[in-house]
Amino acid sequence: MRVLGVDPGLTRCGVGVVDGSPGRRLAMVGVGVVRTSADAPIGERLVLIERGLEAWLDEHRPQAVAVERVFAQHNVRTVMGTAQASAVAILCAARRGLPVHLHTPSEVKAAVTGNGRADKAQVGAMVTRLLRLDAPPRPADAADALALAICHIWRGGGTDRLEQAVAAARAARTAQPARTVQPAARSAEKAVRPQEPAP
């Protein structure tokens, strides 16, 4: 499975692509950040984030997108900016029909380090180790994006398979009534049609 992790932010939106599956070795495909200027109008910044994410989606063709779930902080302005960038990431993925999964920071930390309260340095160190990198990705937003992708590969793979099975079952149920409509319609037609007199 190839997953694009997105650590949403207006100034720096971390992005990281990881290949792997549960129980197998992970491989980093790409990592970076989409940057915008704090002086630019909000609309322009969101357009730049969209263009940057679309470029990553075009280049790496992930099968799923993992985005950090926005949670309440003391700084409302920071939360709003993070939520806006998160919405852009979800929109870009949904436009392509890609499954989008939201993971809380504590879920990601627990999946990668085993400790839901790990700090950024610990997350960066474990990402470096798991992906066999020479050094932790910089800035921390990039490392967090890789951690999101790793978290989803390890925790979300089963969820993806379950959703695919449910979708297949729904499609099969939808197709079945179409085959039984005609006999039912013929029975109704016979009941309504006047009987011809016997010769």
Angle at which helix 120-130 crosses helix 140-192, to 10 degrees, equals: 70
**Cα(134)–Cα(141) distance, rounded to whole angstroms?**
18
- Provide the annotated binding site: 7, 68, 141
In angstroms, the CA 143 to CA 32 distance is 9
Contact assessment for residue 103 and residue 7, using Cβ atoms and an 8 Å cutoff = no
Q: How far apart are CA 140 and CA 71, in angstroms?
A: 18
- Binding residues for Mg(2+), as ranges, are 7, 68, 141
Residue pair 49/38 in contact by the 8 Å Cβ criterion:
no
Annotated catalytic residue within 19, 39, 68, 163: 68
Whether the CB-CB separation of 133 and 127 falls below 8 Å is answered with yes
Q: Is 144 a residue of the active site?
A: no
Which of 101, 102, 134, 138 has the alpha carbon at shortest distance from 120? Answer: 138
Note if 141 is an active site residue: yes
- Residue 197: cis peptide before it, omega within 30 degrees of 0: no
19 is a catalytic site residue: no
Query: One of 7, 19, 44, 144 is an active-site residue; which one?
Result: 7
Q: Which positions are annotated as active-site residues?
A: 7, 68, 141
